[in-house]
Chain A
Amino acid sequence: MKKLKIIKNIKLKKSSKFLTLLLTSMLIAAANAFVFYSLSMASTITIETTDVWFVKGLDNETAGVSLSPDKTSAVLTDLLAYPNASFTYTDPLRVRNNGSIPHQIRLSPVRLSGNDTEFVYVKFLLRNGTFEENATLVSLEYTCDGSDWIVPSATGWVEIPASTEYAITVVTKAKDSAASAQVTIEIAVDVQ
């Protein structure tokens, strides 16, 4: 009986020690994981932003393109949409991989604001080729059903080889009866 009590005490002591060890391990694990994540992100950004950035394309003036100093963001202020006619800016903005290794890129939606009744669509195409060629790699197509925008999902990943530029083509179309209206669509080019 006494032996059994001793064994029980040992079990309890060991269980409580192990539980403490487990909780401490998980705490350290979580802390380590966060530290590692932060370091990893910082490291990635530092490396990647020197490799991939925006450059202005042939149609940058007609589209009103301006780039941030580090070329990681771009604003296109002068895009037009005509009633019942498509209007294509084949080469307003390009994504350049300036590094020596390929990267994966994709287009993804971020934010949309403004009119939601006067447009038919605004499309963003990632292209590799002249405007005469059917050179679309992936597309992000926002369509408007007359009362709301239908926001697309992010495109699939596409490889951009080293020292290569892909154009982001923008195609717009307004309703046949469209009057004055404006929409701002923010998209991201994800790079990995």
Chain B
Amino acid sequence: MQKYNVYAQKMHQSTWLVVTLFVLLGFLFSNVDGNTYFALVTEPRTTVSSPPVVLQAGTADNSTVYLNGTSAKISAVAPSTLTNYDCVLKVVNNVSDPWKIRLKAYSQSNIGRLNNCTIYFQNASDKFSGQVYIVNGTYTQQTGPWYDLPASPAERYIAVTLQANNSEVSYINVYLEILIPNKTTYARYILTFEFT
């Protein structure tokens, strides 16, 4: 009987020893595993500012410029004969820094009816710069080349040439991208073209 109890006690001790070892190892692994990285810290400060480049209504009297001049809607009739709108929107530089600008079409609806649609930049002194082209209902160019917007006072015009094969409505959503020259910092303004 005594012998049996001593054996049982030894077994009991061994079990506890194993459990203790597991607890010990658990402590070690959790501490090592949870702390194997370090952090680089960055602290960006962002300030709201007036836009340096703003949109203004064009001479064609068919655009709506929204608050702060950073987005606009342009409406134009797309007839069955090729029609040109010389200035549907103005892009005006208000600061002494020059910029580069371009248009990028990013979404659309019902453009299949547009036989011809060209959205382009121009002004009195610069040549035409084609930005977005649609021929027979399909894009042939969605992103235009960079175009210079000189330091203030300076403005460039957005113009449109249109021809459609019916009287439905088409929408083209376009980013006006405004880039700091020789950098990769740029703003995006949203322009919505509605062609009826």
Given A22-B16, A58-B183, A88-B186, A188 and B46 touching (CB < 8 A)?
Answer: no
Which of B38, B41, B48, B186 is A179 in contact with, Cβ under 8 Å? B48
The residue in chain A whose Cβ has the minimal distance to the Cβ of B177 is A88
Chain A min CB distance to B96 (Å): 15
B185 touches A25 (CB 8 A): no
Contact pattern, A 74-98, Cβ under 8 Å of B = 1, otherwise 0: 1111111111111111111101000
Residue B85, interface by CB 8 Å? no
Contact of A62 with B32 in the complex, beta carbons under 8 Å: no
Known: A36-B28, A131-B184. A82 touches B51 (CB 8 A): yes
User: Chain B binding site: helix, strand, loop or mixed by DSSP?
Assistant: mixed
Number of A-B contacts (CB under 8 A): 217
Choose among A22, A63, A78 the residue that contacts B20 (Cβ–Cβ < 8 A).
A22
B-contacting residues of A (Cβ < 8 Å)?
3, 6-7, 10-11, 14, 18, 22, 25-26, 29-30, 32-34, 36-37, 40-41, 44-45, 48-49, 52-54, 58-59, 62-63, 72-93, 95, 104, 108, 110, 114-115, 118-119, 122, 124, 130-131, 168, 170, 172, 174, 176-192
B residues with CB within 8 A of A: 1-2, 5-6, 9, 13, 16, 20, 23-24, 27-28, 31-32, 35-51, 66-68, 70-71, 180, 183-190
